[in-house]
Homo-oligomer: A and B are copies of this chain.
Amino acid sequence: MDLTDFLKSSAKQVDEALDRFLPPAETEPSVLHEAMRYCVFSGGKKLRPILCLAAAEACGGDLTKALPAACSVELIHAYSLVHDDLPCMDDDDLRRGRPTCHKVYGEGIAVLCGDALLTAAFRSLADTAATQRWKTSDFLIDLADASGSKQLIGGQVLDLQSEGKAIDHSQLVAIHRAKTAALLTCSVRLGAMTADATAEALAQLTKFGQALGLAFQIIDDILDLTQSTEVLGKTAGKDIKSNKATYPALLGLDGARAEAEKITQHALNALQPFGTQAHYLRALTEQLLQRHA
């Protein structure tokens, strides 16, 4: 299977698993379940669950066993977007080419929808089978720490606090590590753990995920600056408007692109011990560097 087919087939498997897992839209309270589905089935890239599956593959595992964890990381991502888009946070009207959750369902339901997606992420993790090396509590610690106050949520706090302030390169890296790289790394780690990966393999994949996450965010910063709202499906040019520190602002466009290429190479280097088994992870990494949306 080439990368395009793997991406399609993985996204389909994840969508089907999410559809089986989430309560039907007609289950009471139906407005909440409808909102949850609106946010989850909105044509996103499904990057995190695909990374989870690709990491399981790289460790010789069975993709079906990685599906509950793949759903978990996508649900965490979906909840974080719903809450980040709220008027009291980034105040965004557009996400994936459609009105944001609070625009459609109101702020109260949007807050509760995010809460329900977050809770559902942990419920899905309970369906992950323990392996010889990794227990349910290990999965739980990984997901809770990556999503918690020092990583995903902490990153959003730092991001809110940095708006309009001059921050340096190391502070920018700290924000991106927490806000983006932690959950990407967790996605890869969880997939590998469902495949009973060794601690050594996990350590390599952690390096991979951290580099990939940073490179991903630099590209995001570049696209926010160079692409249109139509292409991105979310409001473009927001970083400049909100006077946000970004890689292009710190290093210039060329500097930022060079940095993304350098860090992508770090990510690829971390995959070396996996040889050809990591071909999807490798191809995906190269594709993310070249993406235009």
Contacts and interface: CB of A to CB of B under 8 A. Distances in A.
B140 A122 contact: yes
- Size class of the A contact interface (CB-based, 8 Å): 35 or more
A148 B119 contact: yes
A132 B106 CA distance: 46
A120 interface: yes
Contact of A160 (B79, B108, B127): B108
Main secondary structure on A side of the interface with B: helix
A28 interface: yes
B108 A120 contact: no
A111 B111 contact: yes
A31 interface: yes
A118 interface: yes
Given A32-B154, A122-B144, 5 more contacts: A27-B150, A88-B108, A112-B157, A114-B115, A115-B153
30 contacts: A29-B149, A29-B157, A31-B161, A32-B149, A32-B153, A32-B157, A83-B111, A83-B112, A86-B108, A86-B111, A89-B108, A89-B111, A108-B160, A109-B160, A111-B111, A112-B153, A112-B156, A115-B118, A116-B154, A119-B144, A119-B147, A119-B149, A120-B149, A122-B144, A123-B145, A123-B148, A126-B137, A136-B136, A136-B137, A140-B140
